[in-house]
Amino acid sequence: MLLVVIAHTMQGGTYGSMVRGVIYSFHMPLFFILSGFTMRPSKNIRSFWKKTLKSAKSLLIPGVLLYFAWICIEICRNTENLMSTDFWKGKALTLLFASASSTVWGETFIAGIGMIWFFFVLFWGKVLYDAMQLFVQNILQKEKNTELLLIVLSFLFAVAGIVLGKYRWLPFSLDVAFGIQPFFAFGQLLKRFDWEHKSGMRMMLCILIWCVCFFVTYPNPDNWTYLEVGLRRYSVFPISYLCAMTGTVVLGVLGQYIGRWKKKSAFGKPVSMIVKPFYIIGKNSMYLLCIHIMDQLWDFIWYVEGHQFISAGRRLGTDLLIFAVVMMIVLRLPRDEKR
């Protein structure tokens, strides 16, 4: 999330583009990989629908609420929108497609929904992968065969999503949900990854692979050609996917190194002091994402014209300050209310 805020503030130039490119090479796939890593596959149809409903509450409802918050802001800025049929029709189509950027369906222009796309894509991506693994689980009983078939199917879905993303975008960004299936499969595989065994050698190998893949997918800082999931830019597939996966492993191994420092308690678990702030942010990253989605309202605080690195630092600091205030309120709520 910290890298997301920084990357979204980088406007261009050689150094700004390079920073943005490095972060974009893995930052959104990392969210989906971690979702796959933490996902508990459904065992039957009943548990599948229960998990789907839970995901809808935690992802779709916040996404829709954030979207309507922005609609209310637009109405406050121009009250004539309240009675405009075209305004509400446009907003309904934007919500229907839930796309990060604008598109055209037939002859109808459909505005993008912005960063809120992530909530919808993560929801449909999780539902699709869970349904796929449940289907495969009912066909095959051998675990190794199940994993192999899931990997194959996830890449077939990815190819379908990439083709659709090039020619025909689907409502609710379903084509993007297809395209991210390999990340969920990779996240599931990481559950068996031994982070301690030869971690230094593995980290160096992953850094090497990541660097090679990165420069293949992003050879020119003046031309943003790297992986941008929300915009349907699947540069040099599947090399860009390999770049995202190895970048995620590098961060995972780095986290293991940092986690070995002297530990103290956080949320009832022993966590090293240097990790504790990241642990709190990571555990509550959706709060920070919501704040980041709304931070254009206070861009007069963080935006400095002509100074993208200063703007990025001030934006990150401002969002974290608001996040700290929100967390102070949330953590003081009674346990039953928080749930």
Q: What is the pLDDT of residues 130-142, one digit of tens each?
A: 999 998 887 766 6
pLDDT reading at 263 higher than 80? no
pLDDT reading at 19 higher than 50? yes
Question: What confidence score (pLDDT) does residue 276 get?
Answer: 78
pLDDT reading at 212 higher than 90? yes
Quote the mean pLDDT of the chain. 88
Torsion angle, alpha carbons of 249, 251, 253, 257, to 10: 180
- Range 255-279 average pLDDT: 68
How many Å apart are CA 137 and CA 151, to the nearest integer?
A: 13
Nearest to 75 by CA among 88, 94, 89, 65: 88
- Range 293-306 average pLDDT: 93
The model's confidence at residue 338, banded by pLDDT at 50, 70 and 90, is: very low
C-beta of residue 46 within 8 angstroms of C-beta of residue 22: no
Question: What confidence score (pLDDT) does residue 267 get?
Answer: 57
Helix (H) or strand (E) holding 288: helix 285-294
Which pTM value belongs to this model?
0.90
pLDDT reading at 295 higher than 60? yes
Task: Pick the more confident residue, 123 or 274.
Answer: 123
